[in-house]
Amino acid sequence: MFDKIKFAQILKNIGETYENQRDFSKKSEINRTYLSQYMNMKLDEPPKPKILEKLANASNGIITYNELMEMCGYIDNVSNSNLLNLYKKLEKFEQEYIAAEKELNNNEYFIFHDLFYQLLNFLNDGYTTPETFDPNKILNNLDFISDKSKQRLYNSLKTRFIYFYERNKVKNELKKTERYNNSEFSLDNHSSNIKNKIFNIPVLGKITAGQPILAEEYIEGYLPVDPDVYGMTLTDDLFYLKVSGESMNLKVHNGDYALIHKQDYAENGDIVVAIVNGFDEATLKRYKKINDELVMLEPMSSYPMEPIVINLKETKFKIIGKAIGQFGKF
């Protein structure tokens, strides 16, 4: 049960480690008014776990995330000890699979994520365990890669399987708590503080006017991105676009994957994904605004190609996103 008096006192204790509440708010990335409401016991419901995680990280050692979770009723006393042990094991397995995946080169990464769904089949069959899971059952048919690549893929599949297997144990333990069943708790909100996580971003084969960008029929799979490279914390506005053609081969080759941030604006020189005339599939080009009526989409190719000049009064034109990288480099 949430004890708002005790929670308010904890917040005040944390606040005393800062020069002022503004600094506390900045460090925790939590709105000052929101903090003040809890300090003054104005709110009866506890903060959500992701807020508690921010508070714990900004508490200067005063309180841990698990202690806050227990104080707010997300974890009860009976299950708390067992969960702590499970989370410690989970963090270890998480570190191991991240380290294994960082050993993969770009081509191996793509192969790994193609194999990932087969891995899930083993995970969900109800009887395969880390002791009985053999990645070679998945890798045996890959005659086109070297033995060294197979070994790296073997390590990645094995460590990822163990992580998900242990993660399911934590989920099962959490289901015993009332808060979990109320959908206020997600295991994702109780992630470890490992910074080098890998995000999986959807890959689109094409984008068509009038359809949602992430329409299911256009998603061909998923590819990884290291969040530290781009300083990202969320991936909702990102997707990979599979590039077709040679019009941008000085930047990204035919068959490669451009990493796109969804947005409807651009600056001169940005490489954008745009739809022209409202019917064609999206095109990837360098954007240049000539004046209020004209924009130009310029190819960046080793072959001679003409730019596309668009009269905004006569032609439907929509920017879908801006390229910020690609699978490998940009």
Q: Which helix (H) or strand (E) holds 225?
A: strand 219-225
Q: Which amino acid, 191?
A: S
Is 247 among the residues known to form the active site?
Answer: yes
What whole-number distance in Å separates Cα of residue 8 and Cα of residue 78? 24
Spell 232-244 as b/e; 16+ CB within 10 A means b: eeeeeebbbbbbe
Q: Give me the sign of the Cα torsion angle 186, 188, 192, 193.
A: negative
Listed in sequence order, the residues at least 6 apart from 195 whose beta carbon sits closer than 8 Å to its beta carbon are 228
Rounded to a whole number, what is the distance in angstroms from the first to the last CA of the chain? 50
What whole-number distance in Å separates Cα of residue 11 and Cα of residue 133? 46
DSSP 280: S
What whole-number distance in Å separates Cα of residue 173 and Cα of residue 84? 11
Q: How many CB atoms lie under 10 A from the CB of residue 51?
A: 19
User: Which one of the listed residues 28, 247, 251, 322 is annotated catalytic?
Assistant: 247
DSSP 300: -
What whole-number distance in Å separates Cα of residue 204 and Cα of residue 217? 9
Whether residue 224 contacts residue 199, with contact meaning beta carbons closer than 8 Å, is answered with yes
What whole-number distance in Å separates Cα of residue 200 and Cα of residue 153? 17
Q: How many CB atoms lie under 10 A from the CB of residue 256?
A: 20
User: Which one of the listed residues 242, 251, 285, 322 is annotated catalytic?
Assistant: 285
Cα dist from 70 to 19, 78, 241, whole Å: 28, 10, 43
Q: Which residues are catalytic?
A: 247, 285
